[in-house]
Each structure stands twice: as structure tokens, then as C-alpha cells.
Amino acid sequence: MNPAPRKPRIAITVGDPSGIGPEIAGRAAADPRVLAVCDPVIYAPPPAPAFAPGVLSGEAGRAAYDLIVRAVDDAQRGVVQAIATAPVNKEAFRLAGFPWRGHTDLLAHLTGARDVAMMFDSDVLRVVLATVHIALAEVPRALTAASLEATIALTARELPRFGVARPRIGVAGLNPHAGEHGLFGCEELTIMAPAIAACRSRGIDVAGPFPADTIFVRARRGEFDVVVACYHDQGLIPVKLIAFGQAVNVTLGLPIVRTSVDHGTAFDIAGKGVADPQSMIAAVLLAARLAAGPKGPALQA
């Protein structure tokens, strides 16, 4: 009889210690479904008076940063096989003096990854963001043909890890009606279509740009395996509308496995014992699956 495969060790960082992260991290680590597929290791700061529930502070931002650095170092050294992160607070990061706007750009910096993208994974819809935490007015300048081509290529390369051997990728237009042939904007014609054509010439199954008000419906009905959205809210509103609490934030392009929740620090309910841990549990389960690989332990529904 072959021995049972060794379960991966998954680092669970508690995020901002003044938010709901410590609560949902602890409940996820104790969940029977999690314990069946991995050995969770919680990364938390020592208790401190500065970390009052629901109180924004630079001290909490610094503590969250330190935990991420420790977890990434351990993942790179093989001490843990993946990281599942509870949410950080971007304003707390700013108060701590950090230039990063959240996990995605910080993790890219810590690991030296050049091309990364934020994907939200759920049973009903997957979305990859072409731009992340920037002002809406900055999106047209940030959305270049080169950056969009890189995001599409990264998505095609990474999706097989999620069980999609040849992903069908749909790209959402930036403007209403995907620009209506230039009537409502020219980005679709001058930037997006050339990037999509370049990816198709490389053998990637990608189509678009399509109007954003219908492409997510088409993806949910099975036409696409993933949608590349132009900006943060364009992609996250449909995901959170139909899968909030079950979706998992995954950073594509890292040399380590990192997953996270689909929500923020929820300062308004921190310390009240009412936070829902389901997205944190889903994040740890997905981290375990990705870390274990196709022959690792099956997930428990």
C-alpha cells in the first residue's frame, strides 16, 4: 500500500490585525475541510494595545507587512508550500510609509516577479484584471497594447493550473458598447484589438473586445473560461454580485502560490465575532490544491 501523500503546509497571514483577519484566519485554520487537505500555519503578530479592533493605524499596517514578508520568505525557502492572506488595509499601508497599494504589487516586489495579475476565481465566474488599484481616470493611460497582451498571455499560461487546459479568454471593452466602432472611444480599435490579434497569432484562444455589459453573462453561461476586465470595478462587481464570499483572489505570475479573500478588512465588524470565514476557507483550500498539484489531496466540498 502506498503511503498517503504528504499534506502541504499553508501559511495563513492574518492581514491587518485591527480588521477581521485574525478572526477569519483562526476559523479557517480550524475548519475540518482545511485540516483534511493541508497543515495550516497562522502568521500573526504578538498581541498589542495598538491593534484595537476597527482602528486604522500605521502600526497595524507595519505589522501586516512584516507578516507578509515572513510568509513570502518561508514560501521561497520551502518552509511552507503556499500562502493564503487575510486582507490588509491600503490606507494603513500608506500611514506606515509603504509605497505599495496592496498585496499584489508588494508580492511582485518581494518575489521579483515582472508580470503579475489579479484573478478572482469562483465556480461560476473567473475574472482577471488588466489594471488594479488605480484611479478610474488613469485607466486609459495604463491600458496599453503591451500591458494587455502581457495580461492575456499570463492568463493563458496560468489557467491550466486551475484545470483549464486550453482556456477560452474573453476580453471586456473599456468603453460603453466596446466603443461602438469608435463612436464612444477609440481604445478598443487602437489598443485592445491589436493586443488581442497578437495573442491570437501566438495560438491563444482569445476574443474581443466585447461590451462589458454582456460579456460576463456570456462567461457565466459557459462561452468563456475567464474574462479579462479593463479595470478594478468592471471585473469585481459581477464576481461579487454572483459569488461574494466564495470567490478567491489569486495572484498570477508569482514564483510562489498565493491566494486571498474576496473582501476587505471590514473594520466596522472587527472584534465582534460575526465575520464570515467562508472566503478565507475557500482561499486556503485553493492554495492547498495549487500547492499539492494534480496528484495532491482532493478538496473536501
Query: pLDDT digits over 188-214, tens only?
Result: 999 999 999 999 999 999 999 999 999
Query: pLDDT digits over 75-106, tens only?
Result: 999 999 999 999 999 999 999 999 998 899 99
pLDDT at 259 over 50: yes
pLDDT at 295 over 90: no
CA distance 172 to 91: 29
Give the pLDDT of residue 38. 96
pLDDT at 3 over 90: no
CA distance 34 to 26: 11
How is 106-158 classified by DSSP, letter by letter?
HHHHHHT-SS-EEEEE-SS--EEESS-SS-GGGHHHH--HHHHHHHHHHHHHH
Give the pLDDT of residue 181. 86
Query: pLDDT digits over 165-178, tens only?
Result: 999 999 999 999 98
Query: Is the full-model pTM beyond 0.85?
Result: yes
pLDDT at 216 over 60: yes
Domain with CATH 3.40.718.10 in the chain: 1-113+254-301, 114-249
Query: pLDDT digits over 123-181, tens only?
Result: 999 999 999 989 999 999 999 999 999 999 999 999 999 999 999 999 999 999 987 88
| Overall average pLDDT of the 109-133 stretch | 95
CATH number for the segment(s) 1-113+254-301:
3.40.718.10
Q: Are 126 and 218 in contact (CB under 8 A)?
A: no
Q: Are 131 and 174 in contact (CB under 8 A)?
A: no
Q: How far is CA 107 from CA 208, 210, 229, in A?
A: 30, 31, 21
| Overall average pLDDT of the 234-244 stretch | 95
CA distance 212 to 70: 39
Give the pLDDT of residue 183. 81
Query: pLDDT digits over 42-62, tens only?
Result: 999 987 777 999 999 999 999
Give the pLDDT of residue 4. 58
Quick one: pLDDT band at residue 301, thresholds 50, 70, 90? very low
Q: Residue 81: which of 7, 27, 21, 134 has the closest Cα? A: 7
Give the pLDDT of residue 2. 55
CATH number for the segment(s) 114-249:
3.40.718.10
Give the pLDDT of residue 101. 84
pLDDT at 11 over 90: yes
Q: Which residues pair with 228 in a beta bridge?
A: 128, 171
